[in-house]
Structure 1
């Protein structure tokens, strides 16, 4: 398998493998839940004889997930879900470990799309997707490559939105498990993972202080909650913009100022978009922004703030620091965009902490096994992660932390199931 992987893969430089192995070894040491599942998979071989294609941000934690799935007997092919989050040394290490890889850091758009397509040419039985990229490609351009697919698992809010749109139109061709909607995903990964890693990317890229600045968080879903919470902890004055009245009330009661974007645009020093939507920051907002405002995005696609509108208002654009583009507007103001508007926590940092991705990728691994075990009766639809799997991952995590919790007595359980006091 290793020889085939080396022969078939497309990566930047296989000589980088030693560095990649060190990164993978580091995250493995901090992902005990996934390591426990790996031992289970090694014993049971749930994917024996099957082909699995993975499309995720291709860095060390994802690489370890690929190795866990491989330990379950699968022939694994992997590609990156974002051109700026791929780490070439990790790709090289995976090839040495027998995983077929189609990914490079920062390919041009045409090459990037071709690499994703190549990952499907094995005609996989199962997929793990991020942002619905694999599913969308299979639906729109190469349906013949999806003929063998039993089902898969989806990582992100954006991906779930796309999958549910397909499902609503009866266009989905196989079942997909909404890993993003599991408790152990959005409560921890979206909130604590995005909250920490987005600021990691912003701070290491700008080398600027956050305390005392005004931070505008665009969207108050679980990712937005995490970004706002961390901004507050860093000493920022936080403003939240929302289109959902319930989330807006929640943000207000959490102690944040809430206002429309056109008002927040006048006040912000840092802007972080986390909506999964398009052009939530656009021309009318750029027209009133401060000189020196900094834009970043923690949503899946690079469309949350409008780069065309920013370019149209600019007389010059230059790179002033790695992952920072300076847009000098025609009136002399400067607006800065981080990581080309792509996911700032991955384009400009290393993504979520390993301990966070431990639970998320445990859900991916067990969710994929669930699909393989039950795809015949699941139907071609989007389903939630079964609660039993969600709870199992949480219990594994508690055990890894040496934390014990109480259990209900028979009397307590009976009381909770009764309508009588």
Structure 2
């Protein structure tokens, strides 16, 4: 039997239906899987993956399996696992260690179970797998040929490891591929975060003050979609260039200490800690809704919220309402975890198609170049980025122009002028 720790194996039939539904929206990954099935570029390679266990991830894992890899998978967030998907993958021979709602000890126990398989390549979403490997299993580091990282938060952590001289194997920052962050982070997070907020609350956004903390690609997407719902969008930032861009894009920009006083919704998307802090909680109006679209549940200072509250209760499945001593009610969604995955289904498959196409091709690239890449956080090779974009355009039946020989020569020369 396949090694696993999942909630309910009987959910596999339901999981297969949803995996196939998502797969129909992932034509680029399907093309890669077809090619991998024939060439088997990862034959016998052990892969350890710490990713959100969703229908889209299932299609990536099945693509790697079709390439000949032996995959072990755990969750990258305690609330992001889709239990029916986990059951379906186990049925297919994937070692899955993931239970929706698992506690922190179980979460890290599952990461260790993946490391017990002695992977040669790691796939990470937030860098918990990589950091656990470096802290607890240094003797295994020599076995690793390379790894990938899916998220902005994870890339930040890995670059810090690299700067501190503790990173011990090369990692490719898949998050930084143009075909990843321009689409997954912006359009994926924009749609799925709003989906999570709306599913959790069923409260009308139109006419409400909707605060977005952070104007990176995820924040841009959330702000864009909230404005599309008729909300009055306010952006808070610490980066002057991003703040200026938000202002030029037509949003109000102000410090969070001011925005918190008038906010109906506050959504964080920064990758940092305690963005919403005690000083902001102290001035929020009654009924303010707090949600996080960043990777970890530290962007909202939940311990400070707990200290301020006299009591709390659950009026809806993904809403915790905290009643403060002065009578105000503050409503936290999805326990401060990723609202798009904890309260909804995560990014649409069509954008994850490009992100996971990058993952699959980068894994192949890493394995072909094992021992050749220096220890560092590497960008996705431009040729992979371009290949994914071409495949996506082709799948959408979109044709584009090509440069003529004359145009190519002009762009490569300096002789011609005015």
Q: TM-score range by the shorter chain?
A: over 0.9
Q: CA deviation at 1:374?
A: 1.5
- What is the DSSP-based 3-state SS (H/G/I as helix, E as strand, rest coil) of the residue aligned with 1:380? coil
Partner of 2:60: 65
- What is the DSSP-based 3-state SS (H/G/I as helix, E as strand, rest coil) of the residue aligned with 1:405? coil
- Alignment pair present for 1:212 and 2:180: no
Aligned partners of 1:396 and 1:87: how far apart in 2? 28
**1:131-150 equivalences in 2 (<5 Å):** 131-150=126-145
- Unaligned stretches of 5+ residues in structure 2: none
Normalised TM-score (structure 1): 0.98
**1:317-356 equivalences in 2 (<5 Å):** 317-356=312-351
Q: CA deviation at 1:376?
A: 1.5
- Alignment pair present for 1:376 and 2:371: yes
Give the paired residue count. Answer: 416
* Larger displacement relative to structure 2 (144-153 or 203-212): 144-153
Q: CA deviation at 1:107?
A: 1.1
Q: CA deviation at 1:342?
A: 0.3
CA-to-aligned-CA distance 1:296-329 (integer Å, 9 cap, x gap): 0000000001001101100001111101000001
Partner of 1:45: 40
Partner of 2:108: 113
8 Å Cα contact 1:251-1:258 kept in structure 2: yes
Partner of 1:36: 31
Q: CA deviation at 1:341?
A: 0.3
Normalised TM-score (structure 2): 0.98
- Unaligned stretches of 5+ residues in structure 1: none
Q: CA deviation at 1:127?
A: 1.0
Choose the corresponding residue for 2:172, options 171, 177, 186. 177
**1:121-200 equivalences in 2 (<5 Å):** 121-200=116-195
Choose the corresponding residue for 2:359, options 364, 376, 394. 364
Q: CA deviation at 1:267?
A: 1.0
* Displaced runs of 4 or more, over 2 A: 142-147
- Alignment pair present for 1:404 and 2:381: no
Q: CA deviation at 1:210?
A: 0.4
Choose the corresponding residue for 1:395, options 390, 395, 402. 390
CA-to-aligned-CA distance 1:37-60 (integer Å, 9 cap, x gap): 001111111111110011111011
Aligned partners of 1:340 and 1:409: how far apart in 2? 55
What's the C-alpha RMSD, in Å, of the aligned pairs?
0.8
Choose the corresponding residue for 1:92, options 82, 87, 91. 87
8 Å Cα contact 1:53-1:127 kept in structure 2: yes
8 Å Cα contact 1:283-1:310 kept in structure 2: yes
- What is the DSSP-based 3-state SS (H/G/I as helix, E as strand, rest coil) of the residue aligned with 2:369? helix
- Alignment pair present for 1:236 and 2:231: yes
Aligned partners of 1:146 and 1:69: how far apart in 2? 22
* Larger displacement relative to structure 2 (272-281 or 368-377): 368-377
8 Å Cα contact 1:155-1:178 kept in structure 2: yes
8 Å Cα contact 1:41-1:72 kept in structure 2: yes
